[in-house]
Structure 1
């Protein structure tokens, strides 16, 4: 009951309800568009490589943009930054829907628009996430981070559940247009927030933007906990997340099914993430979170082996739910550690690195799996990636105790480290 109370407190205020409802609606639209765009790329090309390239173009801009976006989020009005970037995402969705509806969409144009959407999302992610400590008390921050991930997981279930029948009945355009509506709603919800001024505004500008980017990277690399856990998460995303980003080839070639089954599998990922997210939220404590982050990635690797090794769709659904659940535990845990262990003046930059990890590294993994899948088939490349991850896991376990000591205490300031 006490643990459930922590989650209830995180959701009890007007601002937290506005924030999380906006997140839920926006991310539901996001997953509708992801399903639709992935299927659109498959329809346009029939190639696993190009499906992977579309995912790459959406996620890869984070490599270049996220460090800059984080530094900007640490020095400007974060509410305004979140509003404008979410408005840009809505515009991108409207353009994709418009060009597709008019019959002028090509794979090249789709790649360009996905890059534009990826740039906007790279700015929106740290802008939104840095607001969270301004709408909940610090003791409730782990539950709030879990609630944020629960919104994402729920949207990952609802979005595909809506998108599958919509695409089957009316095509991809309505599903993509739904994302534009969702982000317009999220923009309005941010406008209505009353954020603690200390968290709304970044620090006074005293250095160049480039210097602050470098300073943030140095802070992460020198931190005994943040540096290792971010590296572990990055390598895990590179080696394990690619399968989720190029599902259409697996659906058609491995399971012999169509768009509705793509939506079913994506919803299974979401169901797993939702159930595990509720469990993580119910913990209501920071202790043990580092260990969860490390071992959840190993469980995700095992579930990935089961998914790519079968052609029996019900078992694939089960493995998809397990992948979604373990990935959710890992992601919530890492985000909680970042929010808790980072000095406030660096929070935007650290969260932007997390955004880079969750966007750029899966993109690289998707592109690699898509290209390798054209040559070696869809099963062997993910199995090789899992084998490589086992070495990463061994490295993480060897550093686990030191990471726990650095991440599960009070935030480390530049002066106290």
Structure 2
């Protein structure tokens, strides 16, 4: 393992300090929002299915919006796109907080607001991620990509740690309001970034935005490495990530606990993800990253099986930390491969597909798991998903050499394949 000095060197740049400081603030607010909204939905309905629907409405817009947002991010000013989308997320959160605080919020209205927030987030993700090559020198880009994921997982620890006590003492709406303030702060600091023109815009606009979107999908599908690894990640997220999106039913039904224990579990995911993410980032090289991406899913499947098979909360917390660690290894690895292997003119569209996978597939998994959970209980549908995911891991290992050869070579030139 290489020294962590590679991470500190990436963070030494002025742009990186501003970017990751804003990211940490915004994502801390995001995790506070997720905890608060999912708990609020559980309090309103007492239904695992409706908690799954809330997660679905937040994340599922990525199915339609992400490919379009990636095409926009490759032709628009990415800095302005980031500011506008972050401001929209903040305003959406502020309106939800007001309606909850005044007792006007219903499950139907909440669904609408979560869809709106999901659409804004689908535009923010490719715009922000595509800015990274312009924030640090090329030699520090792998470390910056790793730092981005690490920042998300630090927030995944801090956000629930703050949200749990706030919800227990003051209720749901203050935690949601914190998300609005966090995104307004991130919006206000974005203009402080100094990004060269080439990194702010992928290419000049052509006649057809839809055509560019299709080109991006075709590029990823035909790439001998990106297509298989993104497809692998999508199936794995569909099968395994739904558990983390509908935690309140697990907390109450499996462990017999309340909102503070929900925060403990979510924070455990974050701690595990942070530690494992540091280990992946400190490797300091791309070789072997594809193997980590595949094996990370295998470890996530086993940890998920342990989580749903027990009613002992302490063991559940340990499994949650292992789930966070395995998911972090997989997620950072895939994102590093996508950033490195993508043609620069296609980077926004490729990263939008990664955003689609990380948002839409867990949403669909949560919806399916929530529905099956009402019929069969949460445990058995999850264990079936674990078995299916292990078959997917076997497929990935059987094609590992071919995929790694296409992803871990030298970065592509500035032209479309």
Query: Residue in 2 aligned with 1:250?
Result: 250
2:282 partner SS? helix
Q: Deviations over 1:190-221 (max 9, x none)?
A: 11100121111230112301100110001001
1:3 partner SS? coil
Query: Residue in 1 aligned with 2:96?
Result: 96
**Residues paired across the two proteins, number:** 417
- Please give the residue correspondences for 1:9-408 in structure 2 after superposition, counting only pairs within 5 Å: 9-408=9-408
Q: Displacement of 1:26 after TM fit?
A: 0.3
RMSD: 1.1
CA distance in 1, matches of 2:144, 2:375: 44
CA distance in 1, matches of 2:298, 2:413: 31
CA distance in 2, matches of 1:291, 1:83: 36
Q: Which runs of 5+ in 2 are unaligned?
A: none
Q: Deviations over 1:121-160 (max 9, x none)?
A: 0000000000000011222111111111111111000000
CA distance in 2, matches of 1:33, 1:2: 36
Q: Deviations over 1:278-320 (max 9, x none)?
A: 1111111111111100101100000000000000000000000
Question: Structure 1 residues 405 and 299, CA, compared in 2 at 3 Å: closer, same or farther?
Answer: same
When the two structures are superposed, what TM-score results if normalisation uses the length of structure 1? Answer: 0.98
Q: Deviations over 1:42-87 (max 9, x none)?
A: 0110000000000000000000000000000000100000000000
2:221 partner SS? helix
When the two structures are superposed, what TM-score results if normalisation uses the length of structure 2? Answer: 0.98
Provide runs of 4+ in structure 1 moved above 4 Å.
413-417
Q: Displacement of 1:3 after TM fit?
A: 3.0
For the 8 Å contact 1:300–1:326, the answer to whether it is kept is: yes
For the 8 Å contact 1:70–1:123, the answer to whether it is kept is: yes
For the 8 Å contact 1:141–1:336, the answer to whether it is kept is: no
Q: Deviations over 1:200-256 (max 9, x none)?
A: 123011230110011000100110000000000000000000000000000000000
Question: Structure 1 residues 416 and 260, CA, compared in 2 at 3 Å: closer, same or farther?
Answer: closer
For the 8 Å contact 2:345–2:416, the answer to whether it is kept is: no
Q: Which runs of 5+ in 1 are unaligned?
A: none
For the 8 Å contact 2:343–2:415, the answer to whether it is kept is: no
CA distance in 2, matches of 1:228, 1:290: 11
For the 8 Å contact 1:243–1:369, the answer to whether it is kept is: yes
For the 8 Å contact 2:345–2:414, the answer to whether it is kept is: no
CA distance in 2, matches of 1:213, 1:346: 10
Q: Deviations over 1:322-351 (max 9, x none)?
A: 000110010000000011010100000000
CA distance in 2, matches of 1:4, 1:400: 28
1:104 partner SS? coil
CA distance in 2, matches of 1:260, 1:102: 24
CA distance in 1, matches of 2:404, 2:137: 23
Q: Deviations over 1:75-129 (max 9, x none)?
A: 0100000000000000110011011011110000000000000000000000000
Query: Residue in 2 aligned with 1:411?
Result: 411
